[in-house]
Amino acid sequence: MKAIKYISMIASCAFLLTACGGGDKLEDNEAVDTAATTKSTTPDISEEVLADLIQSIPTPLEMSSSIKESGAKFDPKILNDVDNVEKYKTSYKQAFNLGVYGANLAYINIYEKTLSSLEYLNAMRVLSDNLKIGQFFDFNSMKRFASSDDNIDSLIYSSTIAFNNMDSELRKQKRGNLSVLMVTGTWLEGLHVATQVTKSNKNKTIEDKIGEQKMVLDNLFVILDMYKDDPYFKEVSTEIQKIKTEFDKVEIKYTYKEPESKVVNGRLVIVDNSTTEIVMKPENLQAIIKITDEVRNKLIAL
Amino acid sequence: MRKLILKITGLIVGVMFSQFSMAQCDSDDFLDDCASQLETFTFIKAFNTTLKAGPGAKQEVSYVFSKGSEYIIVACDQNNKGGKMIVSLFDRTHKLVASTYSPQMKRHFPSLVFPCQATGVYYIEFKFEADKGGCGVGILGFDKK
């Protein structure tokens, strides 16, 4: 009998110790609507597949980097106003616009506009706190990094880590629906920035980057479609479908050739001999620019 | 009975120890150390990999790579069990593009650099040498050419 008690005691201690290492418990919060604390309905695919689809969506840093590389000037007018943060009262809107502001922050950081970074970091902190994932947002460190142009790489690194951690925490908490909205907001805003830039700066590289989004959109649409029974998702999905209709007219030609590898300074470098070509008519691009602006403006005001 | 108690205690301690070992692999310090190998590349994502030993043990993730961008995948592992982590890159049709382990050279590379010329979905596979288990992190970064 003593032995059973002893084993039970050890097992209890072990359980308590290991349980402490788990994710933070989601607490009730009256300020947050039901959707924030209610776990999402399980989609038809496994969590692993959902996680993979979500993380396959490229970071807005890449698009912003291409925009800067094209010689386009920084334009703060195309960003979502930080004052709008007060309007986002539901967890769905908060998650979507956390993604939108995340894309804005990537654009700001790539252009090293550290003063604007602080405003956007603050807006993101408000939204992430409301969503109960603010613990991943080390605002003080980021504020310190944003105070000097020399620390821009650290700011990009820490904000990217924070963003990725918030996304994976939402999925860990079985709130994958919010993670999907976050990544949708990020992608849409990244596309919006690129399409707005290309209106005043005609550049083939940026146009190709916009055309390439057809592939990303296909993945994103699969994810959004999983939650189509939810009215908010249905609305988002209907709007994104309008963009998809235009992207369906874009053609991506792929030519495969065997890759090669070489060693350069101890690093394995691949020589990619395959190519893709984006075929997009000018009127198709204009239609994408127009519909992206309309959809994005509607969704950030929804 | 004493033997049984010792066995169960050992098992529980073992489980706890393995959990704490895995946690080290997820730690910020480990990630920061690995990320420092990016050098001039910009951090995109970290893929934590924890695999149990066994035939075919692997983890696969996908990512849309964009033409004109240069990517790097850095492989970092704790190497506790002597099996190094191997990162392999596959194209949209799952054809192998490259791997951090070259069987011809019998050499492990700490990273692979991929100047992408064809936009599309690519698959990144993580496994450990000789199907050994282990934990590690793969870091994806990018640079503009």
Look at residue B110 in the predicted model and tell me its pLDDT: 93
Closest partner residue to A59 among B44, B60, B109, by Cβ? B44
ipTM score over 0.85, yes or no = no
Closest partner residue to A275 among B43, B66, B118, by Cβ? B118
How close A141 comes to chain B (CA, Å)? 14
pLDDT band at A149 (very low <50, low <70, confident <90, very high): confident
Residue in chain B lying closest to A261 (CA): B98
Whether B134 contacts B79, CB under 8 Å: yes
d(CA B115, CA B96): 15
Whether B25 contacts B50, CB under 8 Å: yes
d(CA B43, CA A36): 30
Q: Do B121 and A274 make contact, defined as CB atoms within 8 angstroms?
A: no
- Residue B42: its chain A contacts at CB < 8 A? 61, 65, 153, 156
Mean pLDDT of B84-106: 94
Q: Which residues contact B132 (CB under 8 A, 6 or more apart)?
A: B53, B81, B82, B83
Look at residue A124 in the predicted model and tell me its pLDDT: 95
3-state secondary structure of B113: strand
pLDDT band at B17 (very low <50, low <70, confident <90, very high): very low
- Can you spell out the DSSP letters for B3-69? HHHHHHHHHHHHHHHHHHHHHHHTSHHHHHHHHGGGTTSEEEEEEEEEE-SSTT-EEEEEEEE-TTE
Interface test with A, best of B19, B27, B34, B42 (most A CBs within 10 A): B42
**pLDDT tens digits, A270-285:** 999 999 999 999 999 9
Q: Which two tokens stand for residue B32?
A: 């920061």
pLDDT band at A36 (very low <50, low <70, confident <90, very high): very low
Closest partner residue to A14 among B12, B68, B114, by Cβ? B12
Mean pLDDT of B6-16: 49
Look at residue A115 in the predicted model and tell me its pLDDT: 82
Mean pLDDT of A4-25: 41
Tally C-beta pairs within 8 A across A and B. 143
- pLDDT tops 80 at residue B13: no
- pLDDT tops 60 at residue B8: no
With pLDDT > 70 as the criterion, what percentage of chain A qualifies?
85
Look at residue A193 in the predicted model and tell me its pLDDT: 98
Interface test with A, best of B17, B64, B102 (most A CBs within 10 A): B64
Look at residue A291 in the predicted model and tell me its pLDDT: 98
Look at residue B80 in the predicted model and tell me its pLDDT: 60
pLDDT band at A49 (very low <50, low <70, confident <90, very high): confident
Select the more confidently predicted residue: B72 or A50: B72
- pLDDT tops 80 at residue A164: yes
Q: Do B113 and A267 make contact, defined as CB atoms within 8 angstroms?
A: yes
With pLDDT > 90 as the criterion, what percentage of chain A qualifies?
63
Long-range Cβ contact pairs of A124-129 (< 8 A, separation 24 or more)? A124/A98, A126/A85, A127/A85, A127/A88, A127/A94, A127/A95, A127/A97, A127/A98, A127/A101, A128/A98, A128/A166
Residue type, A284: N
Mean pLDDT of B73-84: 81
Q: Do B69 and A62 make contact, defined as CB atoms within 8 angstroms?
A: yes
pLDDT band at A150 (very low <50, low <70, confident <90, very high): confident
Interface test with B, best of A15, A111, A171, A274 (most B CBs within 10 A): A274
Q: Minimal CA–CA distance to A285: which of A190, A218, A208? A: A208
Q: Do B113 and A57 make contact, defined as CB atoms within 8 angstroms?
A: no
Q: Do A56 and B112 make contact, defined as CB atoms within 8 angstroms?
A: no
Rg from Cα positions in chain B: 18
pLDDT band at A114 (very low <50, low <70, confident <90, very high): confident
How close B124 comes to chain A (CA, Å)? 11
Q: Do A156 and B102 make contact, defined as CB atoms within 8 angstroms?
A: no
Look at residue A20 in the predicted model and tell me its pLDDT: 36
Select the more confidently predicted residue: A47 or A61: A61
**What mean pLDDT value characterizes chain A?**
86
Q: Minimal CA–CA distance to A220: which of A47, A30, A58, A35? A: A58
Look at residue A214 in the predicted model and tell me its pLDDT: 96
Interface test with A, best of B27, B119, B143 (most A CBs within 10 A): B119
Weakest mean pLDDT among A8-12, A179-183, A294-298: A8-12
Look at residue A94 in the predicted model and tell me its pLDDT: 97
Look at residue A10 in the predicted model and tell me its pLDDT: 46
How close A93 comes to chain B (CA, Å)? 25
Look at residue A266 in the predicted model and tell me its pLDDT: 84
Q: Do A270 and B114 make contact, defined as CB atoms within 8 angstroms?
A: yes
- Residue B115: its chain A contacts at CB < 8 A? 269-272
With 0-12 CB in 10 A as exposed, 13-18 as middle and 19+ as buried, what is A302? middle
- pLDDT tops 80 at residue B33: yes
d(CA A36, CA A93): 10
- pLDDT tops 90 at residue A212: yes
- Residue A67: its chain B contacts at CB < 8 A? none
- pLDDT tops 80 at residue A165: yes
Q: Minimal CA–CA distance to A60: which of A47, A82, A79, A77? A: A79
d(CA A170, CA A39): 10
**pLDDT tens digits, A214-267:** 999 999 999 998 898 999 999 999 999 999 999 999 999 999 999 999 999 888
